[in-house]
Amino acid sequence: MNKRNLSTAWIGLGSNLGDSLHILHQAWRKLGRDPAVRLQRLSTCYRSRPVDMESEHWFINGVGELQTSLSPMELLTLLLRIEKEFGRRRDPDSTGHQDRTLDLDLLLYDDLIIDEPFLQIPHPRMHNRMFVLAPLAGLAPKLKHPTLHLTMTALKNNLLNDPAAAVIHQVFPVAGSRI
């Protein structure tokens, strides 16, 4: 892999079925086995109540930084393949979110802005999700959102200061969970 041709991508990792913390560890390692990917850093993981879905299973979420020579679409394809290998099932007839063994989201890719039917960068809901902002601000507090032009810390603080979102967006660090 040629260093000059590497892009930086930020990946959201989540699971609410099975041994979620172990699944996230294994998925991150599997992602790093691809010759076009160099794993950089991982966040602390957080436990959070499901958002936009009804489930008794809480999520474990984290964020990772990697460098890659893959295009954004190639990286998304790799993420979807790894999800499937970990038992992720996507029901095209189902509406809304479902419980899942693994969820890998492409959050950011350099400072690109892409709005295509199957690929949106930055992730369109990341700025409204504490389970993304808390770990991402922990890793890269000064990283700026490419369309909102605010740092991850500012976005996290905006969400924390929103009384209507406070209960929904509570996240709890998982002790010893650096993946």
Write out the catalytic residue numbers: 88, 100, 103, 105
Cis peptide bond prior to 146, omega within 30° of 0: no
* 141 C-beta neighbours (distance < 10 Å), count: 12
Which tokens is 35 given? 């010759």
Strands (E), the chain: 7-15, 37-42, 46-48, 59-68, 103-109, 114-116, 119-121, 171-173
